[in-house]
Amino acid sequence: MIRELLNQEWLISIAEHLNGQTEWGVMRQVQDLRTQEILKYVESQSPFYGEHLRNRTGGDSEFALLHGLPYTTKSDLRAVGTAVCSLPFNRIATYYETTGTTGKSTPCPRASIDVETSGAYVQQAVQKVYQSTFGTMQALTAIMGPSELYAFGDTYGEICRNLGIPFVRLWPESPRVGLEKAAHLIAELGVSSLICSPAVALALARFYKSIGVEPSGTPVKQILVLGELCTPEMLSNISLIWGAHCTHGLYGSQETHAVATGCTHGNLHLSETNYLVEILPQEGMDSSVGELCLTMLVPGAKPLIRFRTGDLASLYPASVCGCGSHSRCLRIFGRADDVMTIGGRKVFPATIESAVLGVADCVWGYQVDVRLGKDGTDEIEVTLAAEMGNRSISQARELLAAQFNVPVQVSLQNQLDPRTETGAYISWKYARIRDWRSSHDQ
Ligand SMILES: [Zn+2]
């Protein structure tokens, strides 16, 4: 009963924030209070934090209550397993895991308060986007992501049910579905909205193209993307290829839930009430971009304190976006581990994607190889499955060479390495970039 009241209290404060009824100053006071509460909660409930927070080895923080508190890293989570959890498993709502593709899987249980507080943001975002595109919730939706041990399918399935959006689960990687069947059902059932990764949206488009069907001729009129890096250029590219409105579904993870949700203007807005956000400066990089570090304020199954997400991000005021949201905008630049040094300069994954997509009209897929030239300087080879529009290959080459400041080769191909299709579930870099300069990379 006490927990139900707590859930209600949280949902009311989220609704007030989403409706613009909470002044920023009040929000900060409430967050201070919730920070004190969550620190007490994890210290008493989580065996890991009971020990970990006794250290004062962390960096400075703009939030006085977090100042000096140790960070929580992904390797901490892999090392401690279930000891990080703050609730016993018979009191959670459901259990997920990280995919384990970048290391050992870690447990990601969610309590009902986690599901509801995270879902409230996703639900409002989905409702606004559907209202804008369709003017109704009655738009058949394909939820195209993994389901077992993975929150994605449940999150969107529940929200579709709550909003009365009809849906079908079509994960093309599932042995029961596959790309061909997914493509067939989308056309046959009249699916008008897809929720998938950018890689799946492109793979599906290439499949249609290969059987002589223009993706823009299918019933699909809206695509919500998630699960991997997606630059504004990629959103526009997918929109153009499909003749559909394309925006972010959400940004988040199994560990951190829905950290931000997409709006009709193609931006991501932070789930403000649920997190304290720090942007940790990175050596040798522009100070406005840093590693996203989250303190989860919701007293659920596994709140994390000063969790280093490994993603590069920056925050902008809500007013930067014209959609009317009261939450700040979050821009993601890819994983810190995927930053590459090219021609002596550090380059974000997002910068590579934006540059590559900028040289063609429609890019159905791309891959970038980085090699050492004969004289020891870096060289880039970009392979595109693309329609170049008015631009020639040599113009594309010159544009990219000017941006990266190294020699660039560009070639057009119909077939790309198969790992560009779904490798993005492992990492954007694994799927798109082959770095031949270090033997370890391959
Ligand atoms: Zn917006």
329 Cα–ligand 1 center, Å: 7
Which of 335, 365, 391 represents a domain boundary (last residue)?
335
pLDDT confidence of residue 196: 95
Q: Please write the tens of the pLDDT for every residue from 355-376.
A: 999 999 999 989 999 999 888 8
Residue 416 — pLDDT band, cuts 50, 70, 90?
low
- Say yes or no: 202 and 324 in one domain: yes
pLDDT value at 190 more than 60: yes
Residues composing the chain = 442
pLDDT at 417 over 70: no
| Bridging pattern class, strands 378-387 and 408-412 | parallel
| CA distances to 13, 16, 200, 325 from 20, in Å | 11, 6, 35, 8
Number of domains in the chain: 2
One domain, residues 193 and 50: yes
Assign residue 224 the CATH number of its domain. Answer: 3.40.50.12780
ipTM (interface pTM)? 1.00
Range of the structural domain that residue 275 is part of: 1-335
> Ligand 1: distance of its center to the CA of 354 in Å?
20
Task: Supply the CATH number for residue 362's domain.
Answer: 3.30.300.30
Q: Kindly give the distance from the C-alpha atom of residue 269 to the centroid of ligand 1, in angstroms, as a whole number.
A: 6
Structure tokens at 133: 């595109």
Check: CB of residue 178 under 8 Å from CB of residue 150: no
Q: How many CA atoms lie within 13 A of 403 on its CB side?
A: 19
Do 370 and 294 fall within a single domain?
no
Judgement on whether residues 331 and 372 belong to the same structural domain of the protein: no
Report H helices in 278-392: 349-357
Cβ burial of 385 (10 Å; 0-12, 13-18, 19+) is: buried
Q: How far is the CA of 134 from the centre of ligand 1 (A)?
A: 18
Same domain, 417 and 312: no
> Does 248 share its domain with 375?
no
Q: Give the C-alpha separation, 7 to 298, whole Å.
A: 9
Calpha distance 423→365 (Å, rounded): 13
**Closest C-alpha among 69, 52, 2 to residue 276:** 69
Give distance in angstroms: CA of 324 to centre of ligand 1.
6
pLDDT band at 440 (very low <50, low <70, confident <90, very high): very low
Do residue 288 and residue 348 come from a single domain? no
Distance (angstroms) between ligand 1 centre and the Cα of 82 equals: 37
CA 292 to ligand 1 center in whole angstroms? 20
pLDDT of residue 442: 40
Final residue before a domain boundary, out of 300, 335, 370? 335
CA of 331 to the centre of ligand 1 (A): 12
User: How far, in Å, from the CA of 318 to the mean position of ligand 1?
Assistant: 7
| Residue ranges near ligand 1 (ion) with Cβ within 5 Å | 263, 265, 267, 321, 323, 325
| The predicted structure's pLDDT at residue 421 | 58
How far does residue 351's CA lie from ligand 1's centre (Å)?
22
- Alpha carbon of 206 to ligand 1 centroid (Å): 30
Residues 282 and 162 in one domain: yes
Q: What residue ranges in 167-283 does DSSP mark as E strands?
A: 167-169, 193-196, 222-225, 245-248, 250-253, 257-262, 268-270, 275-281
396/291 same-domain check: no
Tell whether 325 and 356 lie within a shared domain: no
| SS3 of residue 419 by DSSP | helix
Using DSSP's 3-state secondary structure scheme, residue 405 falls into coil
pLDDT in tens, 309-327: 999 999 999 999 999 999 9
Q: Which of 286, 306, 335 is the last residue of a domain?
A: 335
- Do 266 and 363 lie in a common domain? no
Any residues with CB less than 8 A from the CB of 272 and at least 6 apart, and which? 17, 27, 326, 327, 328
> Domain check: are 109 and 175 in the same one?
yes
Q: How is residue 196 written in tokens?
A: 């998938």
